[in-house]
Amino acid sequence: MEWRVNDYEDYDATGLAALVESGDVTPAELLDAALERLETWSALNAVPIVAADTARRLIADGLPSGPFRGVPFLLKDLGAEAVDFPTSNGSRLFRNTRWDRDSAIYARLAATGLVTFGRTATPENGIGAATEATAYGGPTRNPWALDRTPGGSSGGSAAAVAAGIVPAAHGSDGGGSVRIPASSCGLFGFKATRGRLPDGPYAGEGWAGMAIDGYLTRSVRDTARLLDATCGPDLGAPYAAPPLAGTFAGATERAPNRLRVALCDTTFTGAPVHPACRDAAHDAARLLEAMGHAVEVAVPPANTEGMMAAWTTIVACGTALAVRNKLAKLGRSLEPGDVEGVTRGAIAVAEGVSGADYLAAVGAIHAYGREMAAFLQRYDVLLSPTLAEPPALVGRFAHTTEDYISFRTGPDGIFAYSPFTATFNASGQPAVSLPLSCHEGLPIGVHLAARFGEDEMLMSLSAEIERARPWFHRRPPRPAA
């Protein structure tokens, strides 16, 4: 075939790797295509850290012959520490933080042959459902509608994948930070079981085990193969997920057994959601029934509000610790302008949390995990919307306020907007957002969750749904020249 740059977005990462393997296109040509798309979509402010020269050096030095050899890729500007790619955590304080060795997850990604060429935008320290870090000079925007957020905290990655800049990108998820952007940008976003992916060597765990890495993709098979390449504990991991029976890729090739599905079309506290989100969940339920699965309406009888209060405390303490450690390395105290308002508010909350208070918060999320585990003894899958509303307007979740508690759990806060996703960070159970619906031109995600360790079943179900209701070629219109 004759390679044409306009063909680039017609392939997922697996498809592009096959073209490289066959000799139809070179890694350098794919990188050029990605950089051209990045320039076309500059209004998104999705990739604030571009390292094209580093990517060209990686190609020139010879790429590993892994499953994604030659495919352009982006890392979130938070975690996935790498010698070649400094991080900023979406913060002026953390700008250009360098690393003396690669994290386990980046080393595994690099071994697949991916060509990383930059880092994507994130809200400061990853504590928002929108990506509007002032460190990047302005908000990150959603390619489906520039006045809307792509979500957070992996918002830059989601915007880049939705725009076709890359077919897949790294993200992380501590309260929905892969699934919220997946829903907002019309992508597939899978959060694996706690401990499924490595955290080291720079961290033993994130946010008391609630945070985990992940990927934003346009196809189920890309996520499956990325997980296969990177899953498994690293040296000294404090815990690990139950072993897989096979592989994630293998799971995509077989249908699951007939499943018992619980449909929740309100929040887990019984509050109503936007009609478009409710309708998306019901539409997915009808699809599952047509596929032979049994669906019934049910609300988990768990203390979700108590969990969210505990989650908020833990994240405040984690944020304060990160800032304290950075200041210790710099040898100075916090100065005006170092961090945004929400981070200052989180630090203030953490100062009032005793050691006993922190352990009580960890105990509360563990108790919540037991409640959700008990609920999912009666069902195989819990179906809900991913968000309570369509993607929010840019500015709604700006980090200017110092009222961290209200920002997270107030009546118009992030928990009201995203009342489903953090549940499964607290419980550690696998969960996924699928791009099955839209409303007035905006993507609406549908959320599925399963028992702890049942990642392969959830991946099989996701692939079965993708075959029944394909979404790959649904993408935002390209900007006018």
Q: Is residue 86 part of a domain?
A: yes
Residue 480's pLDDT is what? 77
The two structure tokens encoding residue 34:
């990605």
Beta strands in 192-284 (DSSP E): 212-217, 260-263
Q: Annotated catalytic residue: which of 91, 103, 153, 427?
A: 153
Q: Is residue 481 part of a domain?
A: no
Name the β-bridge partners of 191: 431
pLDDT in tens, 15-63: 999 999 999 999 999 999 999 999 999 999 999 999 999 999 999 999 9
pLDDT, the chain, mean: 97
Structural domains of the chain, count? 1
pLDDT in tens, 344-361: 999 999 999 999 999 999
- Average pLDDT in the 264-280 region? 98
Q: Annotated catalytic residue: which of 76, 88, 184, 219?
A: 76
Closest CA to 419 of 277, 288, 212: 277
SS3 276: helix
pTM: 0.98
Residue 221's pLDDT is what? 98
Q: Is residue 21 part of a domain?
A: yes
Residue 159's pLDDT is what? 98
Active-site residue flag, 384: no
Tell me 136's DSSP state.
G
Name the β-bridge partners of 294: 260
Q: Is residue 480 part of a domain?
A: no
Q: Is residue 477 part of a domain?
A: no
Active-site residue flag, 437: no
Q: Is residue 137 part of a domain?
A: yes
For the chain, percent of residues with pLDDT exceeding 90: 97
Q: Which CATH number is 385's domain given? A: 3.90.1300.10
Q: Is residue 441 part of a domain?
A: yes
Q: Annotated catalytic residue: which of 88, 91, 172, 177?
A: 177
Closest CA to 458 of 433, 475, 479, 437: 433
Active-site residue flag, 153: yes
Which range of residues forms the domain containing residue 90?
5-468
